[in-house]
Amino acid sequence: MRLPPLPNEIVVEILECVASMLTVADLSKLSLICKAWYPIAQSILLNSVMITPRNIARLFSAIGEHPHFYPLIRNLDSRNLRASSLEGFQSLRASSKVLSLTLRSHLIDEAQENIFVASFPHLQALSIKHGDIHSGFGSLARLIDSFPNLKSLTLENVHYDEGCRSTYHNVTMSLRSIHCCLGPRVMDELLQWLMSENSMSPIEYIFLGSVASAYGKLPNCMPLFLSRLRGVKSVWLKLSTMWDPPPLTFAENTQLEIIQFDFELWGFNLSKWVSFLSTVFSSITSVSVGTILIIIRMPGSCQPNFDWEDLGDILKSPTFASLRKISILYSRPHVAGEPLHLEQLEDDIRQAFAHLEAKGALTVR
């Protein structure tokens, strides 16, 4: 007996689950299996498209021959392209369904800025990685604020001419997620700008880290910025013990669920950082906090003078009684001739948190 065909919705679910394991050639073959599968395979094939100086002309040529291709593109990853190569997107605005735009190694000048704003009216996620902005932070702020539906912002290693001062208006976005790995000057301007809103964006997920991870210092305005995120659910901070700890508390973050600290462990001011953790954790007012993740990275040159027993005593406090999971990740340095003291350090970590491991609240890796 011949079985009835699967509903297209189920076929879509199956193909989307295995799409990451399929090549472009595989998806092209799937589109030829039957008439019903053609649009399904095409939508998956064109869901995410990477454009480079080598293939941008072919993309526009294919869209010209098959206009139904362009509305299928949801995620566009642009790499090292000039404004002259991107102008074709403006004429496609009416059919654009692009929701996510990633710009890698772009020099974003005024011409590119205008093209992006004119071409992608439905953009919800913007990512700029290893980018240069043509005329100061104002241009970056103006670009971000030009997408009214923007929910997610990623900025990694973004630079601009610090000598160029341009004006920008207050932000009116509804950002939900921010991931920033920036130099302190750029991050400071970004956070100050976001705080200039009449009402802060309803940010729920945030990552803040410095480009220079080992020596990086987060801007002084960071604690104030976080205190204003009343609805934030997940905070991930990349910190370096090279510096004095920031005056950070989570007393105002009543919806907080996850806290993650990613430490570069250097042999300076370490006693202050134990007090910092004690102050931060005792300030938690959210009853929703279920996970605290502490990642500890130790360079090979660092001496193991961090008092793990004191940190263990902090985690024994009633503050952590209801936590579902606390994780301490210990990152070994990838250097030849690893110092012997690192094995002893890992033993100290396990001993300090043995009581939490016993009750299943702690994972040490």
Q: Is residue 333 within 8 Å of residue 349, measured between CB atoms? A: no
pLDDT mean across residues, the chain? 77
Question: Using one digit for the tens of pLDDT, what is the confidence trace for 214-266?
Answer: 456 788 899 999 999 989 999 999 887 777 788 888 989 999 998 888 877 66
User: How would residue 353 be classed by pLDDT, with cut points 50, 70 and 90?
Assistant: low
Question: Using one digit for the tens of pLDDT, what is the confidence trace for 54-78?
Answer: 999 999 998 999 898 899 999 999 9
Of 102-106, 134-138, 206-210, give the lowest mean pLDDT range.
Answer: 134-138
pLDDT higher at 268 or 41: 41
pLDDT higher at 165 or 80: 80
Judged against a pLDDT cut of 80, whether residue 126 lies above it is answered with: yes
Which pLDDT score is estimated for 307? 53
Which pLDDT score is estimated for 297? 66
Judged against a pLDDT cut of 50, whether residue 334 lies above it is answered with: no
3.40.50, 1.10.3470, 1.20.120, 1.20.1280: which CATH number matches 1-45? 1.20.1280
User: How would residue 276 be classed by pLDDT, with cut points 50, 70 and 90?
Assistant: confident
State how far the Cα of 182 lies from the Cα of 71, in Å rounded to an integer.
Answer: 33
Other C-beta atoms closer than 10 Å to the C-beta of 69 total 17
Q: Is residue 121 within 8 Å of residue 95, measured between CB atoms? A: no
Greatest Cα pair distance in the chain:
76
Judged against a pLDDT cut of 70, whether residue 203 lies above it is answered with: yes
Judged against a pLDDT cut of 60, whether residue 351 lies above it is answered with: no
Question: Using one digit for the tens of pLDDT, what is the confidence trace for 288-323?
Answer: 887 777 776 655 544 444 555 555 555 565 555 555
Q: Is residue 143 within 8 Å of residue 193, measured between CB atoms? A: no
> E strands of the chain, at which residues?
48-51, 75-79, 100-104, 107-108, 125-129, 132-133, 152-156, 159-160, 177-182, 205-210, 234-240, 258-264, 291-297, 325-331, 362-364
Give the CA dihedral 192, 214, 364, 237, nearest 10 degrees: 0
352: closest CA among 318, 326, 323?
326
Question: Using one digit for the tens of pLDDT, what is the confidence trace for 85-98?
Answer: 999 999 999 999 99
Q: Is residue 172 within 8 Å of residue 194, measured between CB atoms? A: no
User: How would residue 164 be classed by pLDDT, with cut points 50, 70 and 90?
Assistant: low
Calculate helix-pair angle for 270-282, 308-315, nearest 10 degrees.
0
Calculate helix-pair angle for 308-315, 341-352, nearest 10 degrees.
20
Q: What is the mean pLDDT of residues 105-116?
A: 92
Which pLDDT score is estimated for 125? 96
Judged against a pLDDT cut of 60, whether residue 268 lies above it is answered with: no
State how far the Cα of 188 lies from the Cα of 210, in Å rounded to an integer.
Answer: 11
State how far the Cα of 240 lies from the Cα of 242, in Å rounded to an integer.
Answer: 5
Calculate helix-pair angle for 137-145, 184-194, nearest 10 degrees.
40
- Provide the whole-model pTM: 0.80
Which pLDDT score is estimated for 245? 82
Q: Is residue 259 within 8 Å of residue 289, measured between CB atoms? A: yes
Report in angstroms the alpha-carbon separations of 365 from 102, 357, 362: 33, 11, 10
Q: Is residue 163 within 8 Å of residue 191, measured between CB atoms? A: no
pLDDT higher at 238 or 120: 120
What's the token pair of residue 145? Answer: 């604020």
User: How would residue 22 be classed by pLDDT, with cut points 50, 70 and 90?
Assistant: low
What's the token pair of residue 270? Answer: 């370490």
Residue with tokens 């193991």: 304
State how far the Cα of 298 lies from the Cα of 333, in Å rounded to an integer.
Answer: 6
State how far the Cα of 8 lies from the Cα of 45, in Å rounded to an integer.
Answer: 16
Q: Is residue 124 within 8 Å of residue 96, measured between CB atoms? A: no
Q: What is the mean pLDDT of residues 176-201?
A: 85
Which pLDDT score is estimated for 75? 95
**Total residue count of the chain as it appears in this document:** 365
Q: What is the DSSP string of 180-217?
A: EEE-HHHHHHHHHHHTTSSS-----EEEEEESSTTT--
Judged against a pLDDT cut of 90, whether residue 79 lies above it is answered with: yes
